[in-house]
Structure 1
Amino acid sequence: MFELFFLLNNLLSLNDLLDNRKQRILNTIRNSEELREGAIQQLENARARLRKVEMEADQFRVNGYSEIEREKVNLINSTSRTLKQLENYKNETILFEQQRTINQVRERVFQQALQGAIGTLNSCLSNELHLRTINANIGMFGTMKEITD
């Protein structure tokens, strides 16, 4: 009987040990499930943050490309305006230089013609003819003055 009691006692102790072991395993499983659920929730939160960051990055890229395009168009337009201004300036400079050259040539031709005329007059006119020409011109100026008065 003692043996039976000892055996029964051992069986009860073993049963308690198994129940404790079972409880620890169940607690471990519950804890693992809770940790798993927490990890899943953290993973979902991280995925949501990742999607948000990716959308923001896409928006920054789109805005960045739009800004780059705007700057490119502005630069092209500005350069085009500058080139047109330079072309106008060049054309004005060419026209000015042409006019200046034409005026210089006219002045030189006029001076040469005047010198030639003076040379011809000096060689052809005698003193007496020279004085008569001067007197005739003075007479014409006098007549012109009378008409205008």
Structure 2
Amino acid sequence: MKNVTDSFLSLGHWPSAGSFGFNTDILATNPINLSVVLGVLIFFGKGVCASCLNEWKDNLLSLSDLLDNRKQRILNTIRNSEELRGGAIEQLEKARARLSKVEMEAEEFRVNGYSEIEREKLNLINSTYKTLEQLENYKNETIHFEQQRAINQVRQRIFQQALEGALGTLNSCLNNELHLRTISANIGMFGTIKEIAD
């Protein structure tokens, strides 16, 4: 029996350059490898008792069930992973669509914002220009009004001085009768000047 075991161990260490070999990792083997091992053991181990073979057979069957369960769990995990992957891809596509929409809205806001800024700038320039124009008109009107007032004051002063000079000359040269006629004429002239001034 020791020779059989040694021969199996030496078979497991042969280099597998395209030749037949055994996988010594029991958990990684599949039922086909196990059945080959069982067949070789039966062939070489005819002297081994039937109860040992049955025990080996039961162990192999339970190992096969264990491997089937493991395979099923792996398949379930893969299936779940695929479902999660599909959900993640769907979420990613939705996120990309939302991002694209947000980017388009941001671009629209940016363009509208620039347009609004330009419009506000033009409105401010126009408003400032109109205000400056109104101030210029007000300044010109004020200057014109002050000029007219100054001219009228100068005219009145000159007229008053001329009148006072004429009255002084007349008072020194006139008698009572001429004096009364001059006063009447001056009163009439003052009435005319007052009407013109009003």
Within the candidate set 4, 29, 41, 2:78 is matched to: 29
Within the candidate set 29, 46, 61, 1:12 is matched to: 61
Q: Which residue of 1 aligns with 2:117?
A: 68
Could you list the runs of 5+ residues in structure 2 that have no partner in the other structure? Answer: 1-49, 186-198
**Alpha-carbon distance in 1 for matches of 2:108, 2:163:** 81
**Alpha-carbon distance in 1 for matches of 2:109, 2:125:** 24
| Deviation string, structure 1 residues 48-68 (Cα, Å, up to 9, x no partner) | 101111111111121122112
**Matching residue's letter, 1:112:** Q
What percent identity do the matched residue pairs reach? 76
Q: Which residue of 2 aligns with 1:147?
A: none
More moved, 66-75 vs 93-102: 66-75
State whether structure 2 residue 152 is matched by structure 1 residue 134: no
Q: Which residue of 1 aligns with 2:171?
A: 122
**Alpha-carbon distance in 2 for matches of 1:48, 1:42:** 10
Matches within 5 A, 1:66-145: 66-127=115-176, 130=178, 134=181
| Deviation string, structure 1 residues 55-97 (Cα, Å, up to 9, x no partner) | 1111112112211211111111011111101100110110011
Q: Residue 127 of structure 1: CA displacement?
A: 4.1
Q: Which residue of 1 aligns with 2:87?
A: 38
**Alpha-carbon distance in 2 for matches of 1:108, 1:81:** 40
What is the DSSP-based 3-state SS (H/G/I as helix, E as strand, rest coil) of the residue aligned with 1:49? helix
**Alpha-carbon distance in 2 for matches of 1:5, 1:127:** 175
Larger radius of gyration: 2
**Alpha-carbon distance in 2 for matches of 1:104, 1:27:** 112
TM-score norm. by structure 1 comes to 0.83
